[in-house]
Amino acid sequence: MLTADQIRRYCDHGYVLLPRFKSPAELAAVRDRAWEIARSPQATAGASRFTTRRESPGADPWFLDSAHAVRCFFEEEAFGPDGLLTQALELSINKIGHALHDLDPTFDAFSHGPELAAVARDLGLARPQIWQSMVIFKPPGIGGEVGWHQDASFFVTEPVSVTTFWFALEDATLANGCLWVEPGGHVGARGVLRERFEREGDVVRMQRLSDLAWPDASIALPIEVSAGDLLCFHGLLPHYSAPNRSTRSRLAYTLHVTDANCTYAPSNWIQAPSARALRGFV
C-alpha cells in the first residue's frame, strides 16, 4: 500500500500523509452518522466537558466509562455564564469517544478493511489492535486547543508501538485548527516519552516523565489536509492543534492502534480489549 519512499519518510519524519484515502461517499456516511450521534439524547445526556489541561485529566465517570461506549463530550467554552449552551448542541461537541469502531456499524465499516490492514502492516504493526476511536469536531468559534502531547502517553506498550490513524473528514487548515507536528520529533534525543497517563481504579493522572521541552514555533510544522486524506503518525511524535476561531468546523476521526506483539501496560486507561480490537483491521 505504501511506497518505499513513503515508508522511509514515515521513519524519518514520524508521519506520512496518504491523500484521498477515503472516498467522498465514505466521508459523507461517517459525517452524517457523527451529527446523528451528536443529536442523540443518550450520547449527550450527562455529558461532561473535555479538557486537555494538565491539571484536569478528566477523571469523571462519564469519561472513564466511555472506554467501551459511544459518548459525547462538550467543549470547554460550550456554556455561557448562565450554564446554558451558547450555540446549537451539535456545534458544542468537542468529541465522540471512544469505541465507535467497535460499537457503531457505520464507523466499524469505515475503520476496517484490507487497505487499512495493508497500511498498518507497512507501518510495522505486525498484529494491530484498535483500542480507541474518536470523532473530533473542532466546532467553529469554540473548538478548543489541544496542547502539545504524544499519543504514546495514553497507550503505553513495551516497546512503543501505538500508531495514530487520523482521517480528515473535512478540510483542516491553519484557519480552522489543523494539526501541527514536530518532524522527526519521535526519534533520537527528541524522541522521549514526556508524560504517561495512568489509571488506578477510578483515578487517573498524568505523570511527568521528562522535562524535555515541547517544540516551539521554530520547529513546529502545520499539516494542512483535505477531506479524505489519512495522516498516520508515530506514537512518540509531538503534535498540537490550535483553537478554531473560524466559521468552519474541522471534523476528524482518529484510531489509536498498538501491536499485540508488544506488552500493553496494565496502567493504561483503556483495558479489556474487545473482540474487534483483537482482530485488528480485518
Footprint of Fe ion on 2-41 (CB under 5 A): none
CB of 216 to Fe ion, least distance (A): 19
CA distance 158 to 163: 13
Which region holds residue 18: left if phi is over 0, alpha if psi is between -120 and 50, else beta? beta
Residue 16 or residue 44: which is nearer to Fe ion going by CB? 16
CB of 24 to Fe ion, least distance (A): 26
The residue type at 119:
V
> Binding segment for Fe ion among 60-68, 143-151, 199-207, 224-232 (CB under 5 A)?
143-151
276 close to 107: Cβ distance less than 8 angstroms:
no
Question: Dihedral angle at the C-alpha atoms of 254, 8, 216, 141, nearest 10 degrees?
Answer: -30
Residue 102 or residue 151: which is nearer to Fe ion going by CB? 151
CB of 139 to Fe ion, least distance (A): 18
C-alpha cell belonging to residue 200: 488506578
How many residues of this chain bind Fe ion (CB under 5 A)?
1
DSSP-derived letter for residue 250 is -
CA distance 237 to 219: 13
CB of 256 to Fe ion, least distance (A): 8
Footprint of Fe ion on 57-116 (CB under 5 A): none
Between the alpha carbon of residue 231 and those of residues 40, 97, 123, 190, 194, the distances in Å are 29, 19, 12, 21, 22
> Binding segment for Fe ion among 13-21, 62-70, 121-129, 145-153 (CB under 5 A)?
145-153
> Binding segment for Fe ion among 56-64, 89-97, 144-152, 229-237 (CB under 5 A)?
144-152
CA distance 168 to 121: 21
Footprint of Fe ion on 147-206 (CB under 5 A): 151
- Residues listed for the chain: 282
Residue 151 or residue 170: which is nearer to Fe ion going by CB? 151
The residue with cell 450521534 is 37
Of 80, 21, 79, 263, the residue nearest 157 (C-alpha): 263
Residue 134 or residue 262: which is nearer to Fe ion going by CB? 134
CB of 81 to Fe ion, least distance (A): 31
CB of 275 to Fe ion, least distance (A): 26
> Binding segment for Fe ion among 36-44, 74-82, 146-154, 178-186 (CB under 5 A)?
146-154
CB of 27 to Fe ion, least distance (A): 21
157 close to 131: Cβ distance less than 8 angstroms:
no
Residue 255 or residue 262: which is nearer to Fe ion going by CB? 255
Paired with 146 in beta bridges are 241
Binding residues for Fe ion, rule: CB under 5 A, are 151
